Chain A
Amino acid sequence: MAQWLLKYAGMKLSGPVTALSPVFTIILYFLLLVPPAARAELQQSQRGGAFLQANFQYLLSDFAGPVPSQWARLDFDPRQRELYTLDQSLNEIRIYNQQGMEVYAFGGDGSIVAAADVALGDDGAIYLLARDFQRNGIQVLNFRGEPQAVITLGSLPEKYRNFNPDRMKYRDGLFYLLDSRELQIVVLKSAGTFHQAHDLAADFERMAKELDPEKKKALSLEISGFNVGADGSIYFTAPTLFSAFRLKPDGVLAAFGSPGSGPGKFGVVSGIVVDPQGNIYVADRLRSVVMVFAPDFSFLGEFGYRGDRPEDMIVPDDLAIDAEKRRIFVAQAANKGVGVYTVSLERSPENFGNLPK
């Protein structure tokens, strides 16, 4: 390391390195200023004909260092290249630039309603999904975090009378709302008018019955991770079913995953996100990894793993993606904050032929 630093600095090591020498000063300077990411190990994985490289960059920070948060909700604004986080405990929104530095924060002083999720609009609007949705709906804020409007839910079909969402995504003029407890998804137009709905309860019950036909077990069905792809496909995870799902716009629901603790297996699956190529990233709280699956659900690799170093993961939860820069944002527990990884995924040509059209 020292030789490399000296070479980089155009110097040669010609004598003992002492605390007083300029050489030592330069070494110390580099050790202190080279960001941790440059010293972090590159994680590589070869699975399913794919070569996955994940390189830890940094934890989202402010001028005091990494910003702690516990399982923050995430959304990425591709136009401004900014990441938005919602700290659910503090009810605070923080905004980070593309270097991962905080540029603005609001809400921690009680100026916004209690929020369960955050999403970014096409026009720079910030949407907050209120915890008390029946009363406060979707709050529309401007870039300063100032309330501008409230979007309330129009009438829903009778089947959805108990709908009370706790997750929200915004894509192409539509709000995708999830009630993780009722296993229902409602899609609204930007004005709050009803567009589409999906009741997943019957499908989940069927899967559960196949697992436990005599109902010997106490069953808790729920949805954890939730996201929407560029084509409008909805992705979600069900930890108690050890499964992840893709619900295409044409209504076709497909599931994948199997329980276990080895590579590509599901422990307690949580966050999910998809890249423009349709590759699916699934976080696992128990295994403390992010797994990558092809559009045909074949396992391509994983990265993370539990540990106490910055590049390690501790109970990862929500995910967001910067598709252009191939960055994956990972919200974690232990008040660790949000880790940022660049991901490179190469697939051998013969494997591309197996992908679904």
Chain B
Amino acid sequence: MKKASKMILAMAAGLVLTSGSAFAFHGGGVAHCDGCHSMHNSADNARSGSATAASLMKGSDASSTCLNCHTGANSYHINSVNGANKNQGGDFFWVSDAATHDYLERGTVITFNPDNKGHNVIAADFGLSIDATNTTAPGGTMNSGLLGCTSCHDPHGQIDGGTANGAAPISVSGSYLNQATKQPPVGTIAGNYRLLGDTGFKQITANAPVATADTSAGTKVNYGTGMSDWCLSCHPSFNDNTNMHPTDVPVPVSYNSYVKTGDFTGTVATAFDPLVPIERGVSDGKTLDPASTAGVTGTDQVMCLSCHRAHASAFDNALRWDSNTSEFIAGSAILKENTSTLMANGAVPYYANGAAVDVVAKYGQYQRQLCNKCHAKD
């Protein structure tokens, strides 16, 4: 401690002080070219023929390039070695080659199929391979062999086709618009939430959804509008509110009263459950508080992410909870840490607001599916 108190920060000449906006890499826009592309494969590299990816990318493929920075646990990382990440989008570990294991499903030993745990982005450098089950996106025609981070996120952060198409310059990230210090100056605009692509980008057929996050870690997110329409870009056949679970429909007010099985004492002020998030029906990101605990107030909608995580989860179909457990979610085999049935030591299958959730403590021993948060049948 004494040592710490007398620390002296002796910066070497030319330290990061000259680097301006070098960190916070994307900033809502195109970022630094050389963060992803290598112009000359470094001047000291005299060897030729060692480029291994298209577009001079610094990865074997586009997603590997992204994961050069985003692999790890916590913070802005979304691809851990053991399923430890607790961001709203989820951890790509769950679809990795390393995630294969056996677990108990209704009394039967099942081999965990990572293909079914989320978006199978292809990142050769990080053990993320093509979906071996689906050749196209479920409910759509997009080729699984083309799925990568840049299928959803525009690495160049363009809005409406970019400034070449008449869009104003992007000055700040669009992920934190509720914060006063992160507003775009006059004449400029904020980027899209999480650099999500707009209409016309790749196969996207809807403008990027509106949402705000607490930090780059994305442990708390308040969703505004447009998420489900945007997901339908690649899953168009799921746009069937008659024969499938509907989206963009009002959330039942029972959401407010349902706390857990047998407990219907909730109130609107604290009813929000980040394990079953809802969309506020708000198109102005400045009004979305990521720390909001409010439940249904009138304009709230059901969205795809009410049940699924955008990246991947520990559970089939990227669900936020285990739908394969025998009866009660407390019986999920994945929860049994340090046993032979656990897929990865240190994994956090259930989490909310950046913290692991003990489902027994939060919902009780006999909590069934979290569909009941809206449907209140349990």
Residue ranges of A at the interface with B (Cβ–Cβ < 8 Å): 41, 45, 47, 70-71, 88-91, 110, 113-116, 131-132, 157, 159, 166, 181, 196-199, 203, 206-208, 210-212, 214-220, 222, 239-243, 247, 249-263, 267-268, 285-289, 297, 301-302, 305-309, 312, 314-315, 333-335
Who on chain B is nearest to A304 by CB? B45
CA distance A338 to B11 in the complex (A): 33
Question: Would you give the 0/1 interface string for B119-135, flagging 1 where the beta carbon is closer than 8 Å to chain A?
Answer: 00000111100000000
CA distance A110 to B60 in the complex (A): 32
Supposing A88-B82, A217-B24, A254-B12 touch, asked if A286 and B69 sit within 8 A by C-beta, the answer is yes
Inter-chain contacts of B109 with A (CB < 8 A): none
B166 within 8 A of A: no
Q: Who on chain A is nearest to B12 by CB?
A: A256
Which of B3, B15, B172 is within 8 Å of A258, CB to CB? B15
A197 to B5, CA, bound (A): 10
Given contacts A289-B42, A297-B12, A306-B38, contact A89 B4 (CB under 8 A): no
Tell me if B293 is interfacial: C-beta within 8 Å of chain A.
Answer: no
Known: A114-B346, A243-B15, A306-B50. A287 touches B42 (CB 8 A): yes
**From B10, B22, B74, B175, contact of A242 by CB (8 A):** B22
Interchain CB contact under 8 A, A255 and B11 = yes
- In terms of DSSP, what is the predominant structure of the interface of chain A? loop
Taking each of B10, B344, B345, which has the highest tally of chain A beta carbons within 10 Å of its own beta carbon? B345
New A-B contacts (13) at CB < 8 Å, excluding given A218-B176, A249-B3, A262-B42? A88-B81, A218-B182, A240-B23, A241-B16, A242-B22, A251-B8, A254-B11, A257-B12, A260-B34, A268-B68, A286-B69, A309-B50, A334-B60
Q: Which residues of A contact B69 (CB under 8 A)?
A: 239, 268, 285-286
CB distance from B307 to the nearest CB of A (A): 27
Q: Does the CB pair A214–B181 fall under 8 Å? A: yes
CA distance A335 to B64 in the complex (A): 13
Q: Is the pair B41, A217 in contact by a Cβ cutoff of 8 Å?
A: no
Query: In B143-186, which residues have CB < 8 Å from any A CB?
Result: 172-173, 175-176, 181-182
Chain B min CB distance to A150 (Å): 14
B109 to chain A, nearest CB (A): 15
Query: What are 7 residue pairs bridging A and B, where the CB atoms are less than 8 Å apart in the complex?
Result: A198-B3, A198-B4, A216-B172, A240-B24, A251-B7, A257-B12, A260-B34
Contacts A88-B81, A286-B69, A335-B127 known; A210 to B17 CB distance under 8 Å? yes
Question: Nearest Cβ in chain A — how far from B96, in angstroms?
Answer: 8
Distance between Cα atoms of A195 and B74 in the complex (Å): 28
Q: Does B324 belong to the interface (CB within 8 Å)?
A: no
A199 to B1, CA, bound (A): 8
Residues in B with CB closer than 8 Å to A214 are 181
CB distance from B326 to the nearest CB of A (A): 23
| Residue contact B125 to A334, C-beta cutoff 8 Å | yes
Chain A residues with CB under 8 Å of B361's CB are none
B23 touches A217 (CB 8 A): yes
Tell me which residues across on chain B come within 8 A of A206, comparing CB atoms.
9
Q: Is the CB of A288 within 8 A of B58?
A: yes
Interface assignment of B43: CB less than 8 Å from any CB of chain A: yes
- Given known A241-B23, A243-B16, A315-B68, contact A218–B216 (CB-CB < 8 A): yes
Whether A220 lies near B9 (C-beta < 8 A) is: no
B340-353 CB mask vs A (1 if < 8 Å, else 0) is: 10001110000000
Q: Given A198-B3, A218-B216, A222-B75, A252 and B8 touching (CB < 8 A)?
A: yes
**What's the nearest-Cβ distance from chain B to residue A249, in Å?**
8
Give the docked Cα–Cα distance between A116 and B69 (Å): 19
Residues of chain B within 8 A (CB-CB) of A302 are 42, 44
For A335, the chain B residues whose CB sits under 8 A away are: 127
**Contact mask B221-235 → A, CB, 8 Å, 1/0?**
000000000000000
